[in-house]
Chain A
Amino acid sequence: MNQYFLRKESKELNAFPHIVEFASRKINVIQFDSLKKQVSGFLCFYYVIDGRFDWMIEEKRYILYPGDLAVILPGQRFGGEKDLLDIGTVSWMHLELEHLERNGKIAMGRWSRLSDHECAPIGRILSLNNCPVLSEVKEVGQLFQNMHSELINQEIGYTVRINQMIDELFILMARQLTRQNSSRRDFPQTFMKLEQSLRENLSHQWTLEEMAALVGLGTTAFSEKVKNYTGFSPLNYLINIRISEAIKLLKRPDVHVTDIALDVGFYSSQHFATTFKKLTGYTPSDFRKKNIPQTD
């Protein structure tokens, strides 16, 4: 097994300003403080090749075995449970993206071929994911190995290939994360998790692609399953939740109608009023007048 340690300043990485660190190490002897718990500003991937690693991510303990991948977001605290690297072999990469915010807003940078459209669900999956460890993703090990040999050999087209492989890493990760989170056996349970995410981020302008990606399905299969289970298309289901939440707020005298529209995810109060009236026959302000006694 090749060991290597490349950093931003290494000449091999000249063509890749977004790769902050790329390394693989075999640990034969335990060294204290070899992996101290700390917060980094980068997106970090740690892949276990062999051994057993005992790590802490955001105060939670994870044991990783060969084939497992830890994904640590910028701002998250990560390190060895005992602040050290256990015996075994591990590869890692730290990436600096153009930006990746806590709410899932993501921009890869110019090196990536992933469109904004495809990035949005990836960012959201990363931000909503509460299990930062992917198990049995051997493909990641293979990707790291191929990336390394491309870097060493620098044959024609190697920059394109390496960047493609990083894109591939993101795709792999997103698909695996959603599959891990949703069980084919229990769509109702999967749907409940999605429904909870929708409610928690109701003001977000959800797209069909994002929702489907969150449960690990393609958009066609997703729409069909949701329609089957709820009787609604995904977007209509979303409108349902929005109007229900809006009704609750309309029945409270202290919230302004314009704020309600935006809070529950309509892009304008006009859009809210039209949708609301079409369904209930009331304009939002009429509905409020008829449902709570006016103080003035």
Chain B
Amino acid sequence: MECIITIEIGTGSIRVTAFDLNGNLIGSSKGSYPTFHARPDFSEQDPEQIFITMLYILKNFLNEKIHSKKYQVVSICFNSAMHSVLPIDKNGVPLGNAIVWSDNRAKKEADELKSCDLGKALYNTTGTPIHAMSPLNKITWLKNNDKDRFAATKKFLSVKTYILQQLTGEYVVDYSVASATGMMNIYSLKWEDNALKHAGINNENLADIVPVVYSLKSLKKEYQNSLGLHDNVKLIAGSSDGCMATLGAGVWGDGNATVTIEESGAVRVIGKEVLQDEKQRLFNYVLTEGNYVSGGPTNNAGSAFEWYVKQFGDFRKAFDLEHCMENLITEAVKVPAGSQGLIFLPYLQGERAPIWNANARGMYFGLNIKHEQQHFIRATIEGIIYAFYSIGKTLEEHRSFKSLSANGTFAAYPLWTQLLADVFNKPVQIKQSSGSDSVACGGFLVSATELGMYKNLEEAAQKVKLLDGFHPQQQNHAIHRRQYAIFERLSTKLFDEFEDIAGLQQNN
């Protein structure tokens, strides 16, 4: 039997997943690698460790689940996190660690660019909001602050580009990852000269842009041998985790949006129109020529709840974090919707969409003498969902949608998914459970389209079966609507105080 493999090079781990040609899950395996913070605003990963982890996991997975069961691998599709920058020298050797998506070192570069005319023009042509995480600003940071490394750099790659180059010798970057660099013109699908000029580089310093269904040269002989794969196995460039989570959730065109709740999260839609937001609050990433994944990201999704659990969870009764989390969620259910007037602003790590304020901080508002710990738990989760709603509301200024498709680790908790339905006042669907996550499923759809099983990705997206899961409860929605109004006002009203407190914290 034939099978398709997807590899997700995620923010802290590699996941290898295999499907048969009908899209049924065969199995998956995961291995993680660390993120280093040499300074508080630095986030780096070792490209060689990512590569070795990928090889190791893939090799063991193939031996245990694929070769031993006589499956024939048809293709391997690579999807990855966005916004990474890995400088390599003239021999292709990495110059230090990769700067990964969450790295905030280029805050100053981003602020400067955002406020000038070039910044506005670049948002319009690249579709990417100007922020510290975008590779455009990270490369500019290197130019300004790490001159030797910048001078020695032959190319600036994404982590995925490096992995693909190690496997095949080819330097390519797919549309989606390329458009998340803030340097690709999303209309011409070429590197944008004005962006490159600003970063002090040229076309030669970047990888070649290819469609997500692009199939690379074959695997190097040595890796064919060690992995036990033939040279006719297709390596497919793939896309970004965000775009794949959207495609894999079966969202396409009008009427539907997807909500991804991992450590961080996003609300996204797919469409033929670029959403030009005057305030630059939304991103537009290219999925295929003329089709864009648009939306807004939040920094504080599962990570904000995990923070709560680590600080206030009862670990005497729990085996680990996950178990403790479940216990707390059970407690939260005992409190009525709205946590009886307790509101949480989840901005523990600053916030991106829609307020784009790195200085924003968390807060519990409305505490009274009757509030108990259960109220805090529920308010924390509700605050996180309100932040998603604030993104959804911004999106709806440009495109309306009637239902949501939810995915990600935290969307698996019914309380969270029901809250989404209640707060958005829209039905929430979830993918028919097949055990695989949406990113892997998106990867399968890309591979299957490349194989000609579907006419295009649009047709592929329609094949995803969604279960009608959660319907809004009007009574709860009314409560949330009133609370959200306060949440929204606080999020902007506190601008000056956020700035002051962030400044104060920086000095500590």
Residues of A within 8 A of B (CB): 184-187, 192, 195, 225, 228-232, 236, 240-241, 243-245, 247-248, 251-252, 277-282, 286, 291-293
Contact at A280–B223, with CB atoms within 8 Å? yes
Q: Give the chain A neighbours of B221 by CB distance below 8 A.
A: 281
Question: Which among A184, A251, A279 is the interface contact of B55 at CB below 8 angstroms?
Answer: A279
> Are B321 and A187 closer than 8 Å at their CB atoms?
yes
A185 touching B315 by the CB < 8 A rule?
yes
Q: Chain A residue with minimal CB distance to B50?
A: A244
Partner of B313, one of A185, A225, A236, A280: A185
**Chain B residues near A279 (CB-CB < 8 A):** 52, 55-56, 59, 226
- Complex Cα distance, B222 from A286, in Å, reads 10
A to B CB contacts below 8 Å, 7 in the list: A185-B310, A186-B310, A240-B31, A241-B49, A247-B51, A279-B226, A280-B223
Assess whether A244 is in contact with B56, with CB atoms less than 8 Å apart: no
CB contacts (< 8 Å) of B113 on chain A: these are none
Q: Does B13 contact A (CB under 8 A)?
A: yes
Closest to A191 in B: B34
Distance in angstroms between the alpha carbons of A187 and B53 in the assembled complex: 20
- Chain A residues whose C-beta falls within 8 Å of the C-beta of B34 in the assembled complex: 192, 195
Q: Is the interface of B mostly helix, strand, loop or mixed?
A: helix
Q: When the two chains form their complex, are residues B91 and A292 in contact, meaning their CB atoms are under 8 A apart?
A: yes
**A281–B221 CA distance with the chains assembled, in angstroms:** 8
Q: Does B320 contact A (CB under 8 A)?
A: yes
Tell me if B210 is interfacial: C-beta within 8 Å of chain A.
no
A63 to chain B minimum Cβ distance, whole angstroms, is: 21
Contacts of A232 in B (CB 8 A): 31, 56
**A229 with B91, Cβ < 8 A, contacts A236-B56, A279-B226 known:** no
Q: Are B93 and A240 in contact (CB under 8 A)?
A: no
Q: Which residues of B contact A228 (CB under 8 A)?
A: 320
Asked, given contacts A184-B315, A192-B34, A280-B223, whether A247 binds B59 with beta carbons under 8 Å apart, the answer is no
Contact B32 A230 (CB under 8 A): yes
If A184-B315, A293-B91 touch, whether A280 touches B226 (CB-CB below 8 Å) is yes
Shortest distance from the beta carbon of A185 to any chain B beta carbon, whole Å: 5
Q: Which residues does B use to contact A, with CB under 8 Å? A: 13, 29-32, 34, 46, 48-49, 51-53, 55-57, 59, 91-94, 220-227, 309-310, 313, 315, 320-321, 324
List, in ascending order, chain B residues with CB within 8 A of A192's CB: 34
Contact A291–B32 (Cβ < 8 Å): no
The CA-CA distance from A88 to B455 in the complex, in Å, is: 83
Whole-angstrom distance between the Cβ of A32 and the nearest chain B Cβ? 37
Residue of B48, B55, B223 contacting most chain A CB atoms (<10 Å): B48
Contact: B93 with A244, CB < 8 Å?
A: no
Q: With a CB–CB cut-off of 8 A, which chain B residues contact A187?
A: 320-321
Provide the bound-state CA to CA distance between A230 and B226, in Å. Answer: 22
Chain B residue at minimal CB-CB distance from A245: B48
Give the distance in Å from the alpha carbon of A279 to the alpha carbon of B49 in the complex. Answer: 13
Q: Which of A187, A195, A230, A280 has the most CB of B within 10 A?
A: A280
Shortest beta-carbon distance from A121 to chain B in Å: 22
User: CA of A252 to CA of B91 in the docked complex: distance in angstroms?
Assistant: 10
Which residue of chain A has the shortest Cβ distance to B310 in the bound complex?
A185
Q: Which of B48, B224, B309 contacts A244 (CB 8 A)?
A: B48
Given A185-B315, A247-B51, A280-B55; 17 other pairs, CB 8 A cutoff:
A185-B310, A185-B313, A187-B321, A229-B32, A231-B31, A236-B56, A240-B49, A240-B52, A244-B46, A244-B51, A245-B48, A277-B226, A280-B223, A280-B226, A281-B226, A291-B93, A293-B91
Q: How far is the CA of A225 from the CA of B92 in the complex (A)?
A: 36
Contact partners of A225 in chain B: CB under 8 A: 320
Q: Report the bound CA distance from A240 to B220 in whole Å.
A: 21
Given A241-B49, A279-B56, also A230-B31 (CB < 8 A)? yes
Pair B53/A291 contact, Cβ less than 8 Å: no
Across the A-B interface, give the 7 residue pairs with the lowest CB-CB distance, nearest first: A281-B222, A281-B226, A231-B31, A244-B49, A244-B48, A247-B48, A281-B225
Q: In the complex, are the beta carbons of B310 and A280 less than 8 A apart?
A: no
The CA-CA distance from A236 to B53 in the complex, in Å, is: 10
- State whether A280 and B222 are in contact (beta carbons under 8 Å apart), knowing that A240-B52, A244-B48 are contacts in the complex: yes
| CB of A116, distance to nearest CB on chain B (Å) | 31
A291 contacts across to B, CB distance below 8 A: 91-93
